[in-house]
């Protein structure tokens, strides 16, 4: 599958082009097929239950904090829906009813499916656990010397270092 992204002046524009590319990759690798094990006992009118679960995932990745935002954020995006071979996205109430129908068994199935998806995408799952996993939480942007372990030059948007007095006269840099 070849994906081309570019700017057009036509009606096919979408502000979610990166998600179109991401979900094209998911389709190509059949990553979301794991969701098919979730057997939701709900009527299929226009959208299959698996499609509704995929649309809930899309809503999360597109920045919806609540399902009610689907109607204003995703539903107007016809080009985005067409990239999913859908005529349009489901209404938020349709997605909410689907989630309401999930039983404890369905939630267990969903957890299994999400774990399969996570394992495929996770860098920590592929880590050699015989060694350490280094996490760097230092967001200060302080300069380091070439002798610092695994040091790399980075960009800190021209932030200047400011000094503040903390505790008993100690000075610590703030960025």
**Residue range 98-113, pLDDT digits in tens:** 999 999 999 999 999 9
Q: Work out the percent of the chain whose per-residue pLDDT is above 70.
A: 69
What pLDDT does residue 133 have? Answer: 73
What pLDDT does residue 131 have? Answer: 82
Q: Of 50, 46, 61, whose CA–CA distance to 110 is shortest?
A: 50
- CB atoms under 10 Å from CB of 115, counted, come to 13
Residue with tokens 């524009």: 13
**Residue range 115-147, pLDDT digits in tens:** 888 888 777 777 787 888 777 666 666 666 667
pLDDT classification of 171: cutoffs 50, 70, 90? very low
Q: Where are the domains of the chain?
A: 17-121
Name the burial class of residue 101, with classes exposed (0-12), middle (13-18) and buried (19+) by CB atoms within 10 angstroms of its CB. middle
Task: Name all contacts of 30-37 with Cβ < 8 Å and 24+ positions apart.
Answer: 31/117, 31/120, 31/121, 32/57, 32/117, 34/112, 34/113, 34/114, 34/116, 34/117, 35/110, 35/113, 35/117, 36/113, 37/109, 37/112, 37/113
Residue with tokens 């610092």: 148
**Residue range 77-87, pLDDT digits in tens:** 888 888 888 88
């Amino acid at each position: 599958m070849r994906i081309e992204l570019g700017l057009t002046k036509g009606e096919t524009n979408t502000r979610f082009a990166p998600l179109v590319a991401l979900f094209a990759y998911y389709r190509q690798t059949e990553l979301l097929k794991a969701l098919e094990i979730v057997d939701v006992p709900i009527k299929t009118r226009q959208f299959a239950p698996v499609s509704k679960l995929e649309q809930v995932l899309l809503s999360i990745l597109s920045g919806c904090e609540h399902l009610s935002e689907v109607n204003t954020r995703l539903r107007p995006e016809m080009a985005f829906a067409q990239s999913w071979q859908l005529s349009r996205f489901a209404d938020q109430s349709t997605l909410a009813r689907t989630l309401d129908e999930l039983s404890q068994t369905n939630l267990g199935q969903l957890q299994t499916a999400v774990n399969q998806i996570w394992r495929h995408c996770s860098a920590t799952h592929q880590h050699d656990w015989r060694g350490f996993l280094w996490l760097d939480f230092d967001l200060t942007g302080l300069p380091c010397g070439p002798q610092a372990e695994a040091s790399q030059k980075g960009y800190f948007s021209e932030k200047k270092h400011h000094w503040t007095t903390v505790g008993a006269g100690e000075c610590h840099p703030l960025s």
